[in-house]
């Protein structure tokens, strides 16, 4: 399953901006760290860990108050 197809199936919304390519690289680096090509390959516990890391470490889209 491709990255784009997985993102679409999970209902994630990717903003059309300069950060899109950067996020894709970040996401793919995490996939490599976990030794998979798609989060769908992970069991539930590892998938939760994967997305927790993504949420914690990706700060580009977060807006300050």
Q: According to the model, what pLDDT value does residue 7 have?
A: 72
Q: Answer yes or no: is 49 within a domain.
A: yes
Residue 50, C-beta contacts closer than 8 angstroms, at least 6 positions apart: 30, 34, 39, 42
Residue 53's CB: how many other CB atoms inside 10 A? 13
Residue 41's domain comprises 17-57
User: What are the pLDDT digits (tens) for 17-57?
Assistant: 567 888 889 999 999 999 999 999 999 999 999 999 998 99
Q: Answer yes or no: is 26 within a domain.
A: yes
Q: Answer yes or no: is 6 within a domain.
A: no
- Number of structural domains (the chain) is 1
Q: Answer yes or no: is 1 within a domain.
A: no
**C-beta of residue 51 within 8 angstroms of C-beta of residue 16:** no
Q: According to the model, what pLDDT value does residue 65 have?
A: 42
Query: Does 64 have pLDDT greater than 60?
Result: no
Query: Does 2 have pLDDT greater than 80?
Result: no
Of the two residues 46 and 13, the one the predictor is more confident about is 46
- CA 25 to each of CA 3, 21, 29, 43, 44: distance values in angstroms, whole numbers, following the listed order: 11, 6, 6, 22, 23
Q: Answer yes or no: is 25 within a domain.
A: yes
């Amino acid at each position: 399953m491709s990255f784009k197809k997985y993102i679409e199936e999970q209902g994630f919304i990717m903003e059309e901006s300069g950060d899109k390519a950067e996020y894709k690289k970040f996401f793919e680096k995490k996939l490599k760290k976990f030794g998979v090509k798609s989060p769908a390959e992970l069991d539930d516990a590892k998938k939760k860990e994967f997305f927790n890391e993504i949420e914690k470490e990706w700060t580009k889209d977060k807006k300050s108050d």
